[in-house]
Structure 1
Amino acid sequence: MKTYNFILTGLGNIGRTFLEMLSTREQLLAERYNLALKAVGVADSSGAIYAPDGLDLAAVAAHKKARRGVVELAGPGQWRGDGLALVEQAEADFLLEATPTNLVDGQPGLDMVRIGLRRGMHAVLASKGPLVLAYQELAGLSDLTTKSAPALRFSGAVGGALPSINLGRRDLAGARIQRVEAVVNGTTQLILWLMSQGQSYEAALAEAQRLGIAEPDPSLDVEGWDAANKLVIIANAVLSLPTTLADLSVTGIGGVRPAELQAARAAGGRMSLLAVAEAQDGGYRLSVKPTALAADHPLAHLQADEMGIVYYSDICGRLAAAVREEGPGGSCAAMLRDIIEIVQ
């Protein structure tokens, strides 16, 4: 059995849940894939620890669930430092990057991924920031440009377990993609659904916050930028279109009127915040905006807790996928499938 060492940067909901999930998958990975994954380093906002002999996944996860800094777990003789130094010094096969998304400069995740790839580590990202701000650079350091380079994977950064990237890159290989439509923001999906039931925008937002789905500052979601970030990644990774946020037209859900929602529902469809890439003049027109979906649209019957994507192509026709998930488990599952893909 082959053992791969990894370091995990970021121990928030995604990082902690990933460790919990992995601690229950050891037998499955061994039996199905002849694979073992060993955590040799972890980092959070308190700092980082490095343990070449391995860390107890369940113990680290429980420590974080108790809202305690990971450096408190360092044993005698174990290295302590910060996250960047961990990536610079640790001997590991994989860097798993799950720090909070930073869309100003991508840090600290961006430098961590740069260093990890340059040191020969495969990089698996749940964080969107590095990809939105520096996709072309990171792709150039990875197997996405040079087959012999370390792998860069990030399927969990675009819709959790939804196979948004894999459908486009793998399953539509050889096809010309004519249009992509995606509902990939859970907060706006819930708010618009609640509004279609008669709630005001303010009440729907408050309910989403009470449920822990919307952030205390929901602007990234409700103004459309989270969906826009994911469309930037799709455009770069799937459509081979060098893209930044400046290339998108983005409209949030703040201006949606109850009458529009009710009309869409009465017609048998619904309104969603739709991210669209449409082939045009040798490139693609990219937009994010609230859109009324007709009753026969593949995404029209997504529930309040579902996300989905549709690809239209010349030889494969229409290809759609949807996912229903609670919490960060989908992103964690996507990170694990990326690791398995890399080592197979």
Structure 2
Amino acid sequence: MKEKTICMVGFGNVAKAFARLIQRKENELKDKYDVAFRVTAIATGRHGRALDPQGIDLTRALELSAAGKKLDELSKTSSPDSIEDFIVQSRADFLLENSPVNYENGEPALTHIRCALEHDMHAVSANKGPVVHAYHELKKLAGQHQRKYLFESAVMDGAPVFSVFREALPAANLVAFEGILNSCTNLLIELMEQGKSFDEAVAYAQSIGIAETDPSGDIDGWDAAIKVAAIVTVLMDTPYKPQQVERQGIRGITQAEIRQAQKDGSRWKLVCRGEKIGGRIVSKVAPEMVTPQSPLYSVSGTSSFVLFKTDVLPGLGLLESNPSPDTTAYGLLADVLNILKTE
């Protein structure tokens, strides 16, 4: 049986869900995939670091994190000051990079992933930043070191946006796509349909953990734009930055417009679009009224949906219903297992 080691940078909700997932599926992973995982390093933003070549007690790490305590007590060796040195010292087979996204330049996640690949580690991440700012560079670097860089969870949590093209659609070229890629704004608009004001909807979404304390990345369309840029960059094989996406958020949608749409039998949605036209990319994120004839009409709550148009398949849709950190964590595990299949 193979034993593979993991270094985790970032220990937020998704990373903790991943830790619980590999614990829960430990026997299944051994029986069906002939692999056992050992987390040897965890670096957090607020709760310290743990480094143990023999394997960190994940149950204890989760308990300490939940209690707001430092993970340092779990270390069996001293941790270097820099995260890059920490990654190198972990000597892990995989880096799981889950630090907060940076829309502007992808850092520090980009540096972390580059460091891992340069030191012969596979890199798996849910972070969108490095995808849009350095995908082609990281792909080349991974190839030079006979390693992989995968990021299935970056756009639609655990839904197989990238792997469906990589594994199931050979010789299919993406021509256009449309979808709802930001679950927070989809929920906010739905709450406004139920009669809440914009501010009330934001406050409620914050209270249940869907919206951030500063929700501007969602409501101003940046999160959706970076996901559009990721799809264009990877699936259309064209380097593309979120700043290139024509972008309008949902701040301007009024209750009067919501009611008028309902009266007309339509719904407001924050729609993402990308298309190849004459050798160039045209992309947009903006509120649109959609009719019941649109596949976007029935996408409810925090669900996401994308409809792909390829040169061989005129319409292929992927729907993810009400995702959670658990589904994002599954996307990370799927990437790890898919990498192991290639070894």
Match of 1:121? 121
Kindly tell me: are residues 246 and 166 of structure 1, through their superposed partners in 2, closer, same or farther at Cα, counting changes over 3 Å? same
SS in structure 2 at match of 1:300: coil
Q: Is the 8 A contact 1:241 1:283 kept in 2?
A: no
Aligned-partner Cα distance in 2 for 1:183–1:316: 20
Q: Deviations over 1:195-238 (max 9, x none)?
A: 12222211111111122111111100000000111111111111
Match of residue 298 from structure 2: 301
Indicate how the Cα distance of structure 1 residues 15 and 298 shifts in structure 2: closer, same or farther if over 3 A, else same: same
What's the secondary structure of 1:41's corresponding residue? strand
**Structure 2 residue aligned with 1:150:** 147
2 CA distance for matches of 1:133 and 1:70?
31
Give unpaired runs (5+ residues) of structure 1: none
Residues 232-288 of structure 1, C-alpha deviations (whole Å, 9 max, x = no match): 111111110110122110100011133433344445442211111112111220111
Instruction: State how 1:130-145 maps to structure 2 within 5 Å.
Output: 130-143=130-143
Contact persistence 1:270–1:301 (CA under 8 A): no
TM-score, scaled to structure 1: 0.93
Tell me the equivalent position of 2:205: 208
Give the Cα–Cα distance (whole angstroms) in 1 for the partners of residues 236 and 158 of structure 2. 20
| 1:25-174 superposed matches below 5 A | 25-45=25-45, 46-75=47-76, 78-82=77-81, 83-143=83-143, 149-174=146-171
Shift in Å at residue 135 of structure 1?
2.2
Counterpart position of 1:181: 178
Structure 1 residue 218 corresponds to structure 2 residue 215: yes
Q: Is the 8 A contact 1:275 1:288 kept in 2?
A: yes
1:232 aligned residue (229, 232, 257): 229
Distance 2:105 2:69 in 1: 27
The CA deviation at 1:124 is 0.1
Q: Give the TM-score normalised by the residue count of structure 2.
A: 0.93
- Of stretches 266-275 and 55-64 in structure 1, the one that deviates more from structure 2 is 266-275
Letter of the 2:213 counterpart? P
SS of equivalent to 1:124 = strand
The whole-number CA distance in structure 1 between the counterparts of 2:260 and 2:281 is: 30
1:53-88, Cα deviation, whole Å (9 max, x unpaired) = 11122221221111222213224xx23234322112
RMSD, aligned CA: 1.8
Report whether the alignment pairs 1:2 with 2:6: no
Is 1:15 the counterpart of 2:12 in the alignment?
A: no
1:318 to 2:319 alignment: no
Quote how far apart the aligned CAs of 1:182 are: 2.2
Q: How does 1:266-285 map to 2 (within 5 A)?
A: 266-285=263-282
Partner residue in 2 for 1:336: 333
Contact 1:168 1:311 in 2 (8 A): no
Structure 2 counterpart of 1:24: 24
Paired with 1:306 and 1:84, the residues of 2 have a C-alpha distance of 36
Number of residues of Structure 1 aligned to a counterpart in Structure 2: 339
CA shift in 2, pair 1:171/1:26, >3 Å: same
User: 2:173 & 2:17 partners in 1: Cα distance?
Assistant: 37
- Contact 1:48 / 1:81 at 8 angstroms: preserved in 2? no
- Change in Cα spacing, 1:171 to 1:290, as seen in structure 2 (3 Å) is farther
CA contact (8 A) 2:274 2:282 kept: yes
Change (3 A) 1:268 1:28: farther
For the Cα contact (< 8 Å) 2:173–2:236, is it kept in 1? no
Instruction: Answer whether contact 2:103 2:222 (CA < 8 A) is retained.
Output: no
Find the residue that maps to 1:310 and give its secondary structure: strand
